[in-house]
Each structure stands twice: as C-alpha cells, then as structure tokens.
A and B are shown apart, each in its own frame.
Chain A
Amino acid sequence: MKITSYITWIFSIVFLAGCGVNTMKVNTMQTEDFAENKKSFKKIICIAPNFKKYTDREMDNEDYLASWKIKEKFARETERWSKASGFQYVVYFPSAEAEDQQAIYTKLLPLRRSILMAISNQANSLNEVDNSMFSDENKGVFVVNTVLPAEWSKLSEEFETPYFSMIEMYANDNKSFFIHIVADVLKGRIEYQEIRRYSGKVKPSYLQHVLYDSFRTLKKNLKGGKKR
C-alpha cells in the first residue's frame, strides 16, 4: 500500500510538471463583418515590424546593434510567412539600402502611433492594470474598435488598399507580448487584433514560429472563425 501511495505521488508530480508549466495565451478580437471582407482583404501594408527587448540594465551599443539585427530578421520573416499563409503583406522597413522605404516609413509613423493609442486603453493582456478606476464598464468604452483619426483615410488612395498592419513584439527575460493589428483607415477602425502572451525567454529562432502561428490564426478567423 505504501509503494502504491508513493507511486501515486510521483505520478502526480510528473503529470503536473508536464502540463502546468504552460504556456501561451492568445486573445483575438475582430469586427462583426471582418470575415465577410475576406475578398477585399488582399493587400496589406505592414508598418515596420518591430521587435523590442527590455532588460533591467541600461542598454549599450552592442545591445542596440543586436536589437537591430533581430528587427531585420523579424521583417524578413514577416514577409516570408505572410506569403506562405496566402497574404500579400507589403513590409515597409527602414532599411539603410532603400531610401524610398525610409521615406514611406517616416510617413507611416504617425499612423502607427494612432493605432497604438487606439488599443492602449483596451481590456487586453497588454494592459493588465489592476486599478479600481479601470472598472469593466470604463474599459468597455474602449474595448472594441476605437476610432482612428479620419485624416488617415487619404492613405488608402496612395497605397491602393485601406488595410494597414502593425506587427510588434515586446520581450523581457520572463515573458513576451506579440501583437498583430489590422486597421481599416477608410472606416477608421481596427478590424482585427491579436495579442499573444508567451512565457519564458524568446530566442531569434522562435520568431518564425510566432509569425507562422499569427498568420495562421488570421487565416482561420477570416474563414469565419470564432467572433468576439
């Protein structure tokens, strides 16, 4: 009887070690008619995929150089895996070799800031503020599709598509956040957003897996997946 009891305890610990250390949380939000727009959802302008790493110490030159290399890799992988998933993401990245891209990137930066502001007050895993002032009712005002400034609608003519995307990753040693946002500048709203939270330290080789998962999730939602 004692042996059986010991074995049961060992078994429980091993089991919990296997399934309790997880893992990844994903939260997607989309508009009601998002899946109906899949035919027009072809060309998407991606504004400079951004990878930012936070450390406890002050960053030096080598850290910035490493961060820049990861950003370049992140941009390449974004283009690669968007095509592999059947999307036409046009990535504008501030590359030193292409001056025209640098100009477009500078032009799109204010839009990027507007999109970030639009999602900054939402009740999502990026904004885990435990404050009574941010009650569920107050958060609810901002939760779905905060309006973007109307002046960005002119960008749809210039880029021949109303869809603009933002893909960013923020990482520290313990966890990482990945966000993937698609905004419609003609309607002035965020059509789709995906926020992932990973536990553990990120490695450059993981980026392709993160992007693959993200584009596959977008594809699944465009096929009429679960709406929120």
Chain B
Amino acid sequence: MKRLFLTLLILILFANISKGQVGFLGKRLAIKTNAISGLEGLFSGFEVEYVVKRNLTFCVGFRTSNYATNFNFADFENINSWIRNQENIFSNPIGLKFENISYTEPNTNTITQGFKNKVKDGDMKSVRRVYDFSFRLYSNSYLSAPHGFYSQYGFGFGSQTYEGGIYYPNKIEEVFNSNFNSVNFYEESFERYKKKENFVNVYFGLGYQHVFSKWVTLDFNVNMGAGVIANSKKSNQNSYGNENLAIILNDEKDFSRIGNLLGNGNKKIDEFNSLSNPFSSFYLSGFVKLGILVF
C-alpha cells in the first residue's frame, strides 16, 4: 500500500498536463449519475466532474446501495418454513387442553406477519455509502476533457451496514400426548442483527467518456482497487453468533432440517463474515455513467 501511494505521488509530479483552452467548447462542469454500477446496482449515486486543465479533471462522487439479499440465509429460511409448518400442531394440539398454560397457543401468524413488515423473511438488508474523490488524465488531442479516453486515480471512504433478522423456534413447553409421546411447543422468536463497517479504499482504472450534442455525457469506466476496514461496529451480535445457533441446534436436533443446518451452520456463518468484509482485498468494479455538461 505504501508503494502504491509513493508511485502515485511520484507520477503525479511528472504528469504531462496539457496547456490550452479548458473545457468542452467552454463547458467545464458535468453532473452524472451512476446508471449502472458493478457493486451498487442501477442509478445508485451521482458524480460531479470539473475540468481543471485541458486533460485533467477532478471528480467528487457519492454512491449508495440499498438492496436485500438472501444468499446467506437459505438454511435460516428453512427454519422459518419449518416453524410455519408447525402451525397445525399449534392450532390442533392432538386433543390436549392447555387451560393451565397461558402461552401454549402462540399465534405464530400474528408474530410472523408483524415482523414481515420490518424485514423480509430470511433476507439481509445491506446499505453501502461511498464518498469518492478522484482525478482523471485524458489522452485527447483535438478535443478537451471531459471527452475521450482517460485514466483515473482516486480514493474513497464510506460505510457498509448489514442489517437482518432471523426467526428461530424458542421452546416454551413440553407436554405428553395421549400416546405418552413428548410434544414440544414453541413460540417464534426474532432476533435482529446489525453490523456497520467503515472503510477506505484507493483505486485506479481506465475509461472512455463521450459527449453527445455538446450536453449529454456517457461514461464507461473500469476500476481496480484495494481497501481496508477502518473500524467495525456490531450490535446484538450474540443473538446471531455461533452460540445462539448452537442453542437452536441443541434444542431441535430431532428434526432433520435442523440436522442439515447443523452440518452447514458453521460454514454459513463463515461465509457471512467473509461477505461482510468485501473491501478487505483487491476488487474490480465497472460503471456506466450518464450525465449532462452543465456549463
């Protein structure tokens, strides 16, 4: 990382900044939106580009993403499905009466419905906010920036927040039916998980920007970068750690679905942790930006 910064500093000093008139027919400020972003999705932010010299521009940008994903929660969805399958047991408790037990008939439908309004069942919500600062060196001859091929160098900082929740069965009573078999009763519990990470990253890349009709800009850009997590803050961690998972598994080991989870649970947790640190290594991202040349 030190070498990268050192190389950047040295090469900036020797950069061939062209003289001459500045701006595309005098227009120097472009406001663009991220029409397509490799990391954030569609229309995920905006960027302002200002032409400083004939082939040098500075960019300031902001990107945000807000999407849900369920790739890491497949097995937890199974738990939730299983809980809903137990509704028949709850509503028709095999001829037993539960007058003495006030909470033996939990209305799981109500609980599930209530939580569904907040977080989609089994999904994780991920919000990323990135502030970008970069400069571009254009290699054009006849036309001034911001038109032409360019190389881009910059850094960014921001945060990524993961927020999600799972439903898990919480055993509240064990009774025996008429055949003296053990029947467990559960209420559905919900735990939220939230994690926020601040990161910084540096990147460089190549691209081409075309100006149509003196007003509209279309920008294609590919960046390669590296980043580090500055700090990480977690809340309600214990409810969604290995410990909690172990409790669930120990209680429900009779059920085959939970047995599957036992085999894959730790792996999924590891996947989750690795996915929550996407900037801890090198990355490649692409953008298509659409904008206008203001003045």
Q: Which of A120-128, A133-141, A195-203 lies at the interface with chain B?
A: A195-203
Closest to B21 in A: A213
Within 174-204 of B, Cβ neighbours of A (below 8 Å) are at 204
Does B141 lie at the interface of the complex (its beta carbon under 8 Å from any beta carbon of A)? yes
Q: Is B204 touching A15 in the complex (CB atoms < 8 A)?
A: yes
How far is A199 from B16 in the complex, measured between Cα atoms in Å? 15
Pair A23/B206 contact, Cβ less than 8 Å: no
Point out the residues of chain B lying under 8 angstroms from A18, CB to CB: 136-139, 149-152, 206
Q: Which of the 9-residue segments A4-12, A68-76, A179-187 touches chain B?
A: A4-12
Cα-based distance from A199 to B141 in the complex (angstroms): 6
Q: In the assembled complex, which residues on chain B have CB atoms less than 8 Å from the CB atom of A132?
A: none
A22 within 8 A of B: yes
Tell me how many residue pairs across A and B have CB atoms closer than 8 Å: 101
Cβ-neighbour of B20 out of A17, A19, A21, A24 (below 8 A): A24
| Bound-complex Cα distance A210 to B25 (A) | 9
Query: Are B153 and A15 in contact, with the CB atoms below 8 A?
Result: yes
CB neighbours of A208 from chain B (8 A)? 25
From B25, B136, B150, B152, name the one whose CB has the most chain A CB atoms within 10 angstroms. Answer: B25
Q: A11-B204, A15-B204, A216-B21 are in contact. Are A23 and B7 (CB under 8 A)?
A: no
In the complex, B96 has a CB within 8 A of chain A: no
B residues in contact with A15, CB < 8 Å: 7-8, 11, 15, 137, 151, 153, 204
Q: Tell whether B19 is near chain A: CB-to-CB under 8 Å.
A: yes
Whether B55 and A22, one on each chain, are in contact in the complex, defined by CB atoms closer than 8 angstroms, is: yes
Quick one: which of B18, B25, B150 contacts A212, CB cutoff 8 A?
A: B25
- B20-42: CB near A (< 8 Å → 1, else 0) gives 11001110000000000000000
Measured CB to CB, the nearest residue on chain A to B226 is A7
Classify the secondary structure of A's interface with B.
helix
Q: Is the CB of A24 within 8 A of B25?
A: no
Q: Is the CB of A23 within 8 A of B151?
A: no
Q: A17-B151, A18-B206, A19-B151 are in contact. Are A209 and B144 (CB under 8 A)?
A: yes
Contacts A12-B7, A18-B150; A217 near B21 (Cβ below 8 A): yes
Q: List chain A residues, Cβ under 8 A from B26.
A: 212, 216
Q: Is the CB of A200 within 8 A of B7?
A: no
| A and B contact pairs by CB, cutoff 8 A, 22 listed | A7-B226, A8-B4, A10-B224, A11-B4, A12-B7, A14-B151, A14-B205, A15-B137, A16-B11, A18-B149, A19-B11, A19-B16, A22-B140, A23-B16, A23-B141, A24-B141, A26-B19, A198-B141, A200-B141, A200-B142, A203-B142, A206-B142
Among all A-B residue pairs, the 9 with the closest Cβ atoms? A18-B151, A21-B139, A206-B142, A18-B137, A213-B21, A19-B137, A23-B18, A216-B21, A19-B15
